[in-house]
């Protein structure tokens, strides 16, 4: 066993999940941003190049991979931390430099999720190509990451994870699970369309040109051009949900999903994942919206949306200071035109808010990624915008 050390921690003192991993990366000094990217290059803990990087002031990171069964629960709140410590098995735990905790588990679950309440992030599930910083790295605040125990990564049962998700379900993860649906078993999620009440569903078989028009008007056509994402599951659910809201048939939806990048989970995870994604999207549309047939959006009646102005804010003084994972908020002024349900012409401007994070896209640098699940926050006239800004300013104080 190597006797090389990171400060006073010998390589051989690391837990097995780290000793056995070959997906460690170099992280910038006193930061959480990779030196290169989460796509590599990767190292093992005993690689001299990685040790030299740390001994020269760099940090260390582990990129989680859905090909294995390692999952990390990252607590950003006392409520989330207490739930994990009280309700889930004791497991390998890290205290981050900010005082939060990283709980390492074994699980077949492979979808990254941010769990929040009323817009406040409480914690996250990190698994598929998301990174966690490793001890004894130094947090930007100057404090070090520490192993709190020598436990092995405990197995996390599917029911325990579903209960955790149900406990902290909010709009930010509605892309993965229908709001208010509670936990669902894997078997239920894998059911086929025949298990749903399709009597009022249009089940439209349409040519690509018409489907493209509908997706463009709904704002989801752009998802098909994505070649990288930290949340393929969320992106794919958003796309499938938009098609179910248009009343497309299963075969039409499949033909569109097949246009996704070969890097997407849709192509990598196989038939069972594909069926589950379409099933959940259609289930959401039928059970949650309770839409009668004449309410499924017709292409001739879909409103036209045009973004006329955009403002982006983020957690940094300048774009050069942005780190991987930093929050980003984008507000668009959107013009909506068309014909309303009452037959009257509609021509209004409204504010649309979308929350996202900056991600390191390799040669393209740090770029903001948004989940496409935008929300309207009010009219875009000058008086309303000033009042909204004033209200947010007072809340932040």
pLDDT at 105: 93
Tokens 């998301």 appear where?
130
pLDDT at 321: 84
pLDDT at 119: 64
Long-range contacts of 329-334 (CB under 8 A, 24+ apart): 329/353, 329/354, 329/355, 329/356, 330/354, 330/356, 330/368, 330/370, 331/377, 332/307, 332/374, 333/307, 333/308, 333/309, 333/380, 334/305, 334/306, 334/307, 334/308, 334/380
E strand or H helix at 289: helix 289-289
- Which phi and psi angles does 122 have, rounded to 5°? -105, -30
Q: Alpha-carbon distance 102 to 125, whole Å? A: 10
pLDDT at 392: 86
Q: How confident is the model at residue 14 (pLDDT cuts 50, 70, 90)?
A: confident
In this predicted structure, the answer to whether residue 140 has a pLDDT above a threshold of 80 is yes
pLDDT at 293: 44
pTM tops 0.75, yes or no: no
Mean pLDDT, residues 255-273? 86
Q: Which of 142, 83, 69 is nearest to 117 (CA)?
A: 83
Mean pLDDT, residues 196-205? 77
Q: How confident is the model at residue 283 (pLDDT cuts 50, 70, 90)?
A: confident
- Burial grade of 232 (CB within 10 A; 0-12, 13-18, 19 or more): buried
Q: What six digits make up the tokens of 244?
A: 């179910």
In this predicted structure, the answer to whether residue 27 has a pLDDT above a threshold of 50 is yes
In this predicted structure, the answer to whether residue 377 has a pLDDT above a threshold of 50 is yes
pLDDT at 172: 37
Mean pLDDT, residues 299-305? 59
Most confident of 27-31, 188-192, 365-369: 27-31
pLDDT at 127: 87
Mean pLDDT, residues 320-344? 80
Flag the least confident range among 98-112, 160-174, 242-256.
160-174
Average pLDDT score over the chain = 80
Sign of the four-CA dihedral 379, 385, 387, 390: positive
Domains of the chain plus CATH, in order, are: 5-168 (3.30.2250), 186-295 (no CATH), 304-396 (no CATH)
Q: Is 276 helix (H, G, I), strand (E, B) or coil?
A: helix
Neighbours of 380 (CB within 10 A): 21
Q: 280 with 193: CB under 8 angstroms?
A: no
In this predicted structure, the answer to whether residue 178 has a pLDDT above a threshold of 60 is no
pLDDT at 187: 37
Work out the end-to-end distance of the chain between its first and last CA atoms, rounded to an integer number of angstroms.
53
Read off the pLDDT of residues 205-238 as tens digits, 9 standing for 90 and up.
877 877 888 888 788 999 999 988 878 888 998 9
To the nearest 10°, report the CA torsion of 148, 150, 155, 160.
-20
């Amino acid at each position: 066993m190597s006797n090389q050390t990171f400060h006073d921690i010998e390589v051989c003192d690391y837990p097995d999940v780290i000793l056995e991993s070959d997906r460690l990366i170099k992280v910038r000094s006193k930061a959480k941003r990779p030196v290169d990217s989460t796509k590599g290059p990767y190292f093992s803990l005993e690689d001299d190049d990685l040790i030299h990087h740390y001994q020269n002031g760099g940090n260390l990171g582990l990129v989680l991979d859905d090909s294995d069964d390692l999952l990390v629960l990252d607590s950003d709140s006392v409520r989330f931390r207490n739930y994990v410590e009280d309700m889930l098995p004791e497991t390998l735990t890290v205290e981050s430099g900010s005082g939060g905790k990283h709980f390492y588990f074994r699980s077949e679950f492979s979808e990254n999720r941010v769990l929040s309440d009323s817009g406040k992030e409480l914690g996250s599930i990190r698994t598929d190509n998301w990174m966690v910083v490793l001890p004894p790295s130094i947090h930007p605040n100057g404090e070090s990451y520490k192993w709190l125990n020598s436990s092995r990564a405990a197995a996390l049962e599917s029911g325990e994870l579903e209960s955790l998700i149900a406990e902290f379900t909010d709009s930010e993860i509605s892309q993965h699970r229908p709001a208010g649906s509670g936990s669902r078993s894997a078997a239920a999620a894998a059911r086929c369309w025949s298990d749903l009440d399709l009597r009022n569903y249009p089940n439209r078989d349409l040519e690509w040109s018409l489907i493209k028009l509908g997706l463009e008007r709904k704002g989801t056509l752009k998802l098909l051009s994505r070649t990288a994402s930290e949340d393929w599951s969320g992106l794919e659910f958003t796309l499938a949900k938009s098609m179910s809201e248009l009343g497309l048939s299963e075969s039409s939806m499949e033909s569109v999903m097949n246009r996704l990048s070969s890097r997407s989970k849709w192509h990598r995870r196989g038939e069972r994942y594909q069926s589950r994604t379409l099933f959940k999207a259609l289930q959401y549309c039928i059970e949650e919206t309770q839409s009668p047939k004449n309410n499924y959006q017709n292409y001739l009646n879909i409103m036209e949306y045009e973004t006329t102005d955009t403002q982006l804010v983020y957690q940094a003084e300048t774009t050069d200071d942005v780190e991987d994972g930093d929050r980003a908020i984008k507000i668009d002024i959107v013009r909506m035109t068309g014909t309303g349900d009452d037959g009257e012409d509609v021509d209004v401007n409204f504010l649309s808010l979308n929350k996202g994070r900056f991600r390191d896209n390799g040669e393209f640098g740090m770029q903001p990624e948004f989940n496409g699940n935008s929300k309207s926050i009010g009219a875009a006239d000058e008086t309303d915008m000033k009042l909204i800004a004033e209200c947010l300013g007072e809340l932040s104080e």
